[in-house]
Chains A and B, each alone.
Chain A
Amino acid sequence: MSEQRDPAEELPAPAPASASSPAAPGAKPPPSRERLQQARRKWLRTILLTGGVTGAALSGFLPLVYARTKRLRPPGALDEKDFLASCIKCGQCVQVCPVQAIKLADLVDGFGVGTPYIDAREQACDFSCDAVQCILACPTGSLVYKKPSFLGTRKGARLAAAPILKAKEKDAEPTLNLAERIGVARLTRPESCLAVKGQGFKGQTRGASFKGRLRYMEVDRWKPIKVADHPYDIPECDLCVRECPVKGAISIETVFAPDGSKRKSPVIHEPCVGCGVCEMVCPVEPTCIVVEAREVWNT
Chain B
Amino acid sequence: MNQFLKNRFFDQIAVMFGREAKKPVAISPVAQQFHTMKRATNKERLAAMIREHHATGKKVHTWRNRRWAVLILANLLFTVSFWLDIQVLEGALTASRFIGFHLIDLNSALQVMLAHKHIIVNLVIGTGTVLVLWLLLGGRTFCSWVCPYHLLAEWAENIHLWLVKQKLVTDQPMDRRLRTGSWLVFAALALATGYTVFEAISPTGIVSRALIYGPGLALLWVLALLFFEVFFSRRAWCRYACPIGLTYGVVGIFSPVRVKYSLAECFHEGDCRKVCLVPHVLDTVIKGRAVDVEVPLGPDCTRCGLCVDTCPTGSLKFEVKGLSKLM
A113:B206 contact, CB within 8 angstroms? yes
Cβ of A6: which chain B residues have Cβ within 8 Å of it?
A: 232
What is the chain A residue whose CB lies nearest that of B240? Answer: A49
B115:A85 contact, CB within 8 angstroms? yes
List CB contacts (< 8 Å) of A87-119 with chain B: 87-92, 94-96, 104, 106-108, 112-114
Cβ of B227: which chain A residues have Cβ within 8 Å of it?
A: 2
Cβ of B224: which chain A residues have Cβ within 8 Å of it?
A: 1-2
Cβ of A61: which chain B residues have Cβ within 8 Å of it?
A: 189, 193, 195, 197, 200
A139:B206 contact, CB within 8 angstroms? no
- Which listed residue, B92, B117, B178, B200, touches A90 by the CB 8 Å rule? B92
Given known pairs A45-B174, A140-B95, the reply for A86 and B118 (CB within 8 Å) is yes
A95 and B241 CA atoms in complex are apart in Å by: 31
Binding site secondary structure of chain A: helix
A64 and B105 CA atoms in complex are apart in Å by: 24
The proximity string for A residues 124-162 relative to B, scoring 1 for CB distances below 8 Å and 0 otherwise, is 000000000000010111000000101100000000000
| Selected interface stretch from A52-60, A67-75, A239-247 | A52-60
Shortest Cβ distance from residue B236 to the other chain A in the assembled complex, whole angstroms: 7
A23 and B138 CA atoms in complex are apart in Å by: 45
B195:A42 contact, CB within 8 angstroms? no
**In this assembly, does B198 line the interface, its C-beta being within 8 Å of a C-beta of chain A?**
yes
B94:A88 contact, CB within 8 angstroms? yes
Cβ of A82: which chain B residues have Cβ within 8 Å of it?
A: 116
B209:A89 contact, CB within 8 angstroms? yes
Shortest Cβ distance from residue B104 to the other chain A in the assembled complex, whole angstroms: 6
Cβ of B205: which chain A residues have Cβ within 8 Å of it?
A: 89, 114
B200:A106 contact, CB within 8 angstroms? no
The proximity string for B residues 221-232 relative to A, scoring 1 for CB distances below 8 Å and 0 otherwise, is 100110110011
Cβ of A5: which chain B residues have Cβ within 8 Å of it?
A: 228, 232
**In this assembly, does A199 line the interface, its C-beta being within 8 Å of a C-beta of chain B?**
no
Cβ of A188: which chain B residues have Cβ within 8 Å of it?
A: none
Cβ of B189: which chain A residues have Cβ within 8 Å of it?
A: 57, 61
A107:B178 contact, CB within 8 angstroms? no
- Which listed residue, A84, A92, A114, A140, touches B120 by the CB 8 Å rule? A140
A140:B195 contact, CB within 8 angstroms? no
User: On chain A, which size bracket covers the interface?
Assistant: 35 or more
Cβ of B178: which chain A residues have Cβ within 8 Å of it?
A: 46, 49-50
A64 and B195 CA atoms in complex are apart in Å by: 9
List CB contacts (< 8 Å) of B240-272 with chain A: 240-241
- Which listed residue, A9, A57, A95, A150, touches B200 by the CB 8 Å rule? A57
A94 and B122 CA atoms in complex are apart in Å by: 18
A91:B91 contact, CB within 8 angstroms? yes
| Selected interface stretch from B45-53, B210-218, B294-302, B315-323 | B210-218
**In this assembly, does A81 line the interface, its C-beta being within 8 Å of a C-beta of chain B?**
yes
List CB contacts (< 8 Å) of A150-204 with chain B: 150-151
**In this assembly, does B82 line the interface, its C-beta being within 8 Å of a C-beta of chain A?**
yes
**In this assembly, does B185 line the interface, its C-beta being within 8 Å of a C-beta of chain A?**
yes
What is the chain A residue whose CB lies nearest that of B228? Answer: A2
Cβ of A104: which chain B residues have Cβ within 8 Å of it?
A: 209, 213, 216
Cβ of B82: which chain A residues have Cβ within 8 Å of it?
A: 95
**In this assembly, does A43 line the interface, its C-beta being within 8 Å of a C-beta of chain B?**
yes
A112 and B129 CA atoms in complex are apart in Å by: 27
Cβ of A89: which chain B residues have Cβ within 8 Å of it?
A: 92, 94, 108, 196, 199, 205, 209
What is the chain B residue whose CB lies nearest that of A5? Answer: B232
Given known pairs A6-B232, A57-B197, A61-B195, the reply for A113 and B123 (CB within 8 Å) is no
Shortest Cβ distance from residue A1 to the other chain B in the assembled complex, whole angstroms: 5
The proximity string for B residues 109-128 relative to A, scoring 1 for CB distances below 8 Å and 0 otherwise, is 10010011110101100100
B185:A42 contact, CB within 8 angstroms? no
B216:A140 contact, CB within 8 angstroms? no
Cβ of A91: which chain B residues have Cβ within 8 Å of it?
A: 91-92, 209, 212-213
Given known pairs A64-B195, A84-B195, the reply for A139 and B122 (CB within 8 Å) is yes
A92 and B120 CA atoms in complex are apart in Å by: 16
B123:A139 contact, CB within 8 angstroms? yes
Given known pairs A85-B116, A94-B213, the reply for A140 and B173 (CB within 8 Å) is no
Shortest Cβ distance from residue B173 to the other chain A in the assembled complex, whole angstroms: 6
B218:A86 contact, CB within 8 angstroms? no
A88:B95 contact, CB within 8 angstroms? yes
A42:B175 contact, CB within 8 angstroms? yes
* A–B complex contacts, Cβ < 8 Å, 25 sampled: A9-B172, A49-B236, A50-B178, A53-B241, A56-B221, A57-B200, A58-B197, A60-B200, A61-B193, A85-B112, A85-B115, A86-B115, A86-B118, A88-B109, A88-B199, A89-B92, A90-B94, A91-B209, A92-B96, A95-B82, A95-B91, A106-B216, A106-B218, A141-B120, A141-B123
Known A61-B200, A86-B118, A91-B213; 18 more pairs at CB < 8 Å: A42-B172, A43-B175, A46-B174, A54-B185, A84-B196, A88-B95, A88-B199, A89-B92, A89-B108, A90-B92, A90-B94, A107-B216, A113-B200, A113-B218, A139-B97, A139-B104, A140-B120, A140-B123
Identify the A interface with B (CB < 8 A). 1-2, 5-6, 9, 41-43, 45-46, 49-50, 53-54, 56-58, 60-61, 64, 81-82, 84-92, 94-96, 104, 106-108, 112-114, 137, 139-141, 148, 150-151
List of 10 A-B pairs having minimum Cβ-Cβ separation, nearest first: A60-B200, A2-B228, A90-B95, A141-B120, A106-B216, A86-B116, A85-B115, A85-B116, A90-B91, A46-B175
